Amino acid sequence: MSTASDPSGKAVRHWFVTGASGGLGRHLTEHALRHGDRVTATARRAAALDDLRDAYGDRLTVEVLDLGRPTDVDAVIGRTLQAAPVDIVVNNAGYAVVGAAEEMTVEQIREQIEVLLLAPMLITRAFLKPMREQGGGRIIQISSMGGQIGIPTHSSYHAGKWGLEGFTESVGREVSDFNIHLTLIEPGGTRTGFASALRYTTETAPYRDTAVGQTRRLLETVDGNTLTGDPAKIAAVIYDTTRNPHPPLRLALGSDTYHAVHAALTERLAALESQEDLAAAVAH
C-alpha cells in the first residue's frame, strides 16, 4: 500500500468516507483523524464537519456529494486521487424507506437502490485500479443486519443491502490476489440518528392491520437513544479491522445482529437440508 509518513515517521493513511456529516461516518472520520490519518470525507452538508476542519486542518478534506449523481461521484473521486493515493474506502452513506413494497413509488425504490447499492458499486470499482497499482488497499462496506435478514416494510432497503453483500463477496474474491481486502460491516440498532431519519411511504388501508402496519407502528415509536449500539465503539472496531492483515469478509457488530443473523442462517440451513432429496431428484 502507498502510505505517506508524518514528521515522526508514522505511516499516514488516506481514507475516503461517504456520508460523513453524522452518525457512523462522522465517528469513523474523527477516529481516523485522531489517530493521525488523513481523511477525504463526503457529505451533503459540508458545514456539519466545520468543527473537525478547525481541529485537524488540512488532514481533512470535505467534498459535497450527492450519491444519486454518478457524474458528481466521478468528479469527487478524481480530485481525491489526484490529491493523494487512497488506502481505505468506506461506503457508509445510506438511509431506509419504510413501507410495503406496493406502497413505494418508483422514485423511492430507485433512489434507495442508487444510494445503497449502485453508488457503493461505482465507488468500489473506481478505486480498484489505483489500489491494485499501488499494491493494495481496504474497502469497508457499511451493510447492516438487514443485509442478512428480512423484515416487513424494508423490501427496498434489503434489496440494496443484500445486493451489496453479494457484490462485495464476489469482488473480494476477484481482487484478493492484489492485496485488496473488502469487509462488510453489519451493525444492529445503533445510536446514530438513523432511526429518526427513516423515510415513510404513504400508508394504505389494506396494509394497516398487517405485519406491515405493525412494524410501521413499532418503528414510529423507536427512541434512537435506547438502541444499544455505540457508534464510537463500532468506529474503533472498524479502524482496528483495517489494521488486520487478514480481515473477515463479514463482521457482525451488536448482540442484536448476532442473534438475528444466527436465527436467519439457522432457519435457511434447515430449509435447505429439508430439500436435499428433492434437489437430487432433478438430476438426469
- Catalytically annotated residues: 143, 157, 161
Distance separating alpha carbons of residues 73 and 182, to the nearest angstrom: 20
For 249, which DSSP code?
Answer: S
The string of DSSP letters for 71-113 reads HHHHHHHHHHHHHS--SEEEE-----EES-GGG--HHHHHHHH
- Length of the chain counted residue by residue: 284
Amino acid at the residue 264: A
Residue 146: phi and psi, rounded to 5, are -70, -5
Q: Please choose, from the candidates 232, 279, 237, the residue with its C-alpha nearest in 3D space to the C-alpha of residue 27.
A: 232
Strand, coil or helix: 243: coil
Dihedral Cα 102, 107, 110, 116, nearest 10 deg: -100
